[in-house]
Amino acid sequence: MYTSIKSFCDNLIPRFTEITEERKQLLQKISNYIQTKKDSHQPINLVYVCTHNSRRSHFGQVWAAVAANYFGINNVHTFSGGTEATAFNPNAINALRKIGFDITDDGQTINPIYTVKFADDDFTTCFSKVYNHPQNPQQHFAAIMTCSDAEQNCPFIPGVELRIGTTYNDPKAFDNTPQQDAAYTERATQIALECLYVFSLVK
């Protein structure tokens, strides 16, 4: 793992105490799902879902992959999707780059496909898509809803084994304001903290 990202994670571990007990109970359900899959030697498929699949769901996809690597949990596959496709938001990309991710795209002008590297030999692929896109698992997965709008407008997701809402405030509210960069960093950090907590509970 890149030194800057490992250091970022190292600094977050002591901050688990900032997570409320109510929130920890919610996150424990994701940990339990991962543990069950790990114990039965099955693939661990996590799909992070938000309306436009542009900000919070990509943060979830990226940080879950990082957390699995950080804690040495193998056979973890992370994805994201939305109720509609837009594009991976540039402000979200910039927030990750500042932390130390190596992010490149395929050169397309509309909804590019991004390779998000967090180690020399580990990465995840991000682009905006609907939650049931062919690249996402169609069965045997957990759907983690990162925004309340997606939670309300996805009344049924076929093939899901666990559906859980871990909603986050949208940094989009601060686009084109002086608080923009800080808001995206704050949300990326919050989602990183909770993904790390989830995987820290897996034995």
Q: What per-residue confidence (pLDDT) applies to 156?
A: 80
pLDDT tens per residue, range 157-178: 889 999 999 999 999 999 999 9
Range of the domain at 184: 3-200
Q: What per-residue confidence (pLDDT) applies to 186?
A: 98
Q: What per-residue confidence (pLDDT) applies to 132?
A: 93
Strands (E), 57-198: 76-81, 102-105, 114-119, 122-126, 141-145, 160-165
Q: What share of the chain in percent tops pLDDT 70?
A: 98
Of the pLDDT bands very low, low, confident and very high (cuts 50, 70, 90), residue 61 is very high
Provide the token pair at 51.
Answer: 């309306």
Q: What per-residue confidence (pLDDT) applies to 96?
A: 98
Number of domains present in the structure of the chain: 1
Largest CA distance in the chain: 49
pLDDT tens per residue, range 94-145: 999 999 999 999 999 999 999 999 999 999 999 999 999 999 999 999 999 9
Query: What CATH code is carried by the domain that includes residue 84?
Result: 3.40.50.2300
Of the pLDDT bands very low, low, confident and very high (cuts 50, 70, 90), residue 146 is very high
Provide the token pair at 201.
Answer: 């509970």
List Cα–Cα distances, 53 to 108, 113, 131, 162, 197, in angstroms.
17, 13, 9, 19, 23
Mean pLDDT estimate for the chain: 96
Span 57-80, mean pLDDT?
98
Measuring CA to CA, which residue among 130, 132, 128, 149 is closest to residue 141? 132
Span 69-85, mean pLDDT?
96
Global confidence as pTM: 0.96
Per-residue pLDDT for 149 more than 90?
A: no
